[in-house]
Amino acid sequence: MISKATIDTVYETARVEEVIGEFVHLKRAGSNYKGLSPFSEERSPSFMVSPAKGIWKDFSSGKGGNAVAFLMEHSHFTYPEAIRYLAKKYNIEIEETEQTDQEKALTDTRESMYLVSEFAKTYFHNTLLNSEEGKAIGYSYFKERGFTNETIKKFSLGYSPESWDAFTKEALGKGYKLEFLESTGLTIPKEDRPFDRFKGRVMFPIESMSGRVLGFGGRILTNDKKAAKYLNSPESEIYHKSKVLYGIYQAKQAIAKLNNCYLVEGYTDVIQFNQSGIENVVASSGTALTPDQIRLINRLTKNITVLFDGDAAGLRASVRGIDLILEEGMNVKVCTFPDGEDPDSFAKKTSYDDLVYYLENNSKDFIQFKASLLMNEAKNDPVKKADLIRDMVGSISKIPDRIQREIYIQECSRIMDISEQVLQSTLAQLSQKEVAEVGKKQKQEQQAFEIVKNENPIAAVKVDVLNRLERKIIEILLLYGNLEEEFEDVFLRTNAEGEIETVSEKRNYKVYQRIYLSLQEDEVQLANPLFRAIYNDLIAFYNENESFSMEQYLMRLDVDFAQEVTDILMEDEQLVLHDWVGQNIFPKTKNETIGQEVSETILTLRWYLVGSIIEELKSSISSEPNSDNTEPLSLVMDYNILIHSFSKKLGRVMSRYY
């Protein structure tokens, strides 16, 4: 188990914007950073990172937390894995303590599958480099492809022995369970003798953006016509081929830095480009491009350049992929290679400078590419040319940005020698059709999820008001709890004439002390169990520590507490996302009136609680003849006087359901 000292050092060292910046393309937004959510499909940023608070918040999915929480949510790390990842990133030495049996038992199925996959990667790589069979067959193959030792190591390339169960026997001997070998697809179950899926193949580990092994691709080296040339891991809990891109782990930093991603088809295309010095390249691994794969790239850049060989079928496939990329609001170019060449072969024989020059000068905008490709098919046939133009306008209609659509319409008009008016008319027809379809779908969803009318709307409002007030108290404690402010105390005293008079006196309190004393005075406990638990924890933390460090406080919270605290802390960051200041809308800064905000919140909570008592008293008044309602009526009158005093202090008329 990782020692507490190591965990403390990790939390103190890790910068949330640096950690998240490896997975999400972040842009500066005032003192914060913003970007597209890595957890949902979106085109406008709703993901916010606050370096000052050391936390992040995804307003589209509701997720949030610190750097460790991000790694657990995004990369499905366990808590220890996230700590180890950060320790490695920041070169922090890990101190271990003895792990209990109970802690060992917490390893879940997914974690076991990750561990098995990591072991397999190491086994195949070592077999390639150190066994006679691996060196003679696998290593020789990679060297023939021109891969250097450095490249083989960078991509952890490997070899699975020809023996039926060499890997399975080794894994079982190391203590890995057969059920996880089978669930990852590394071993194929058979009653009498389970056997290796990838026997006799060179191995390509497929990794997530964070470097976790999800699955494998294996290429056979014999001429066995009955066996598939390439074989991938089957779908599993950790591997979904439509949601992964080969090489994304090695390419992510280069993609973000260069603000462009080259998209190819195969493993060797990626590897050869990397070896040539171009690292911002990923592959769809032979599958048709999917929206999930495009969104992976969208987290790092808005620009994709699709690389294809001159094969006609491949070019048509690229056209289909282009529309998907455009739908995600991304910019797309296409670069083709000379006849008989593919990205692998071309990069292998071309120097870095020449390769960069070729890519820059042969990458066409999608509209130019589509026109040149399809015009060859249409030639002088006016009907085919009309279909081609409709096809191009169809692609343009996928672009979410209106200005971009306008520019592409102008470009299409110039290339195809047709008036912009006709193209705009065609575009409008397509757009109207899409809007109608979307509207129909939304109406169906609305009917399917129609909410049943609330039979007790007043009760619902009550819960909402109390929840908001209690949440406000937690927010004040988190943001300003340790600040000292001036508050006005009001109390009664008897003067020299023996009359009772109201006296006000200003005193300094720390905000958390003022809130605690006020709630104690009224003998009030927060109604929401989660808020109550966080409140008690915060008060205890303030009493035990002279200073308040948000990072230190978040570090000690369990998952439920941390999620709620992050939601509260990041609520106001939505103002940054919407750029209100840029629109000359200036929200009031909270810390300008902290004392007033605390007093008003406590006073409003008191009003609400008194109002609840009044409602209970009213319900106890009997309508029966000769009933004695003197006492409850008298209490209602007294409490109404109290409500009036609250209203006077707050400077506003108090409505029962605030």
Enter the pTM of the model.
0.61
d(CA 263, CA 253): 15
Residue 79 pLDDT grade (very low, low, confident, very high; cuts 50, 70, 90): confident
CB 577 within 8 A of CB 29: yes
Say which residues have a Cβ less than 8 Å from residue 208's Cβ, sequence separation at least 6: 75, 214, 244, 248, 249
Fold of 109-239: DNA primase DNAg catalytic core, N-terminal domain (3.90.980)
Higher per-residue confidence, 432 vs 465: 465
Kindly state the tokens that stand for 533.
């638990």
Residue 438 pLDDT grade (very low, low, confident, very high; cuts 50, 70, 90): very low
Helix, strand or coil for residue 487? strand
Higher per-residue confidence, 586 vs 173: 173
Least confident of 64-73, 481-490, 572-581: 572-581
Least confident of 24-38, 123-137, 222-236, 375-389: 375-389
Helix (H) or strand (E) holding 202: strand 201-207
Residue 254 pLDDT grade (very low, low, confident, very high; cuts 50, 70, 90): confident
Say which residues have a Cβ less than 8 Å from residue 114's Cβ, sequence separation at least 6: 212, 213, 238
CB 462 within 8 A of CB 528: no
In this predicted structure, the answer to whether residue 581 has a pLDDT above a threshold of 50 is no
Helix (H) or strand (E) holding 27: strand 27-29
φ, ψ for residue 216, nearest 5 deg: -140, 155
φ, ψ for residue 54, nearest 5 deg: 75, 25
Single-letter code of the amino acid located at 177: K
Single-letter code of the amino acid located at 578: H
For the chain, domain boundaries: 4-105, 109-239, 241-366, 379-450, 458-604
pLDDT at 635: 66
Least confident of 33-42, 411-420, 452-461, 569-578: 452-461
Q: Which CATH class is domain 4-105?
A: alpha beta
Name the CATH architecture for the domain at 241-366: 3-Layer(aba) Sandwich (3.40)
Kindly state the tokens that stand for 133.
């069979």
Residue 259, CB-side half-sphere exposure with 13 Å CA sphere: 4
Higher per-residue confidence, 299 vs 83: 83
Higher per-residue confidence, 565 vs 245: 245
If you average pLDDT over residues 357-380, what whole number do you get? 80
In this predicted structure, the answer to whether residue 449 has a pLDDT above a threshold of 50 is no
Helix, strand or coil for residue 515? helix
CB 75 within 8 A of CB 593: no
d(CA 395, CA 335): 18
Residue showing tokens 């200073």: 547
pLDDT at 658: 37
Residue 613, CB-side half-sphere exposure with 13 Å CA sphere: 17
Single-letter code of the amino acid located at 285: S
pLDDT at 643: 61
CB 267 within 8 A of CB 274: no
d(CA 237, CA 159): 24
Residue showing tokens 């499909």: 41
- Any idea what DSSP says for residue 582? G
Least confident of 90-104, 490-504, 530-544: 490-504
For β-strands 281-283 and 261-264, DSSP reports them as: parallel
pLDDT at 457: 42
Higher per-residue confidence, 52 vs 245: 245
If you average pLDDT over residues 121-134, what whole number do you get? 96
In this predicted structure, the answer to whether residue 565 has a pLDDT above a threshold of 60 is yes
Provide, rounded to the nearest whole percent, the portion of the chain with pLDDT above 70.
77
Q: Do domains 4-105 and 241-366 have the same CATH topology?
A: no
Instruction: For the sheet with 213-220, list strands across it.
Output: 158-160, 201-207, 213-220, 230-232
Least confident of 177-181, 433-437, 598-602: 433-437
Give the number of other CB atoms < 10 A from CB of residue 375.
14
Instruction: For the sheet with 27-29, list strands across it.
Output: 27-29, 32-35, 47-50, 55-58, 64-65
pLDDT at 442: 44
d(CA 324, CA 316): 13
Kindly state the tokens that stand for 38.
């890595």
CB 95 within 8 A of CB 6: yes
- Any idea what DSSP says for residue 238? S
In this predicted structure, the answer to whether residue 46 has a pLDDT above a threshold of 80 is yes
Question: What's the chain's length in residues?
Answer: 658
Nearest CA to 519 among 532, 507, 530? 532
d(CA 220, CA 202): 7
In this predicted structure, the answer to whether residue 207 has a pLDDT above a threshold of 90 is yes
DSSP state string for 204-221: EEEE-TTS-EEEEEEEE-
pLDDT at 583: 45
Q: pLDDT, tens digit, for every residue of 301-330? A: 889 999 987 655 556 656 677 888 888 888
CB 201 within 8 A of CB 230: no
d(CA 477, CA 515): 8
CB 158 within 8 A of CB 121: yes
Say which residues have a Cβ less than 8 Å from residue 1's Cβ, sequence separation at least 6: 80, 96, 97, 98, 99, 100, 103
Kindly state the tokens that stand for 310.
């001159």
Nearest CA to 596 among 504, 476, 500? 476
If you average pLDDT over residues 499-508, what whole number do you get? 69
Helix segments in 14-139, DSSP class H: 16-21, 67-74, 79-89, 101-105, 109-130, 132-133
d(CA 385, CA 182): 53
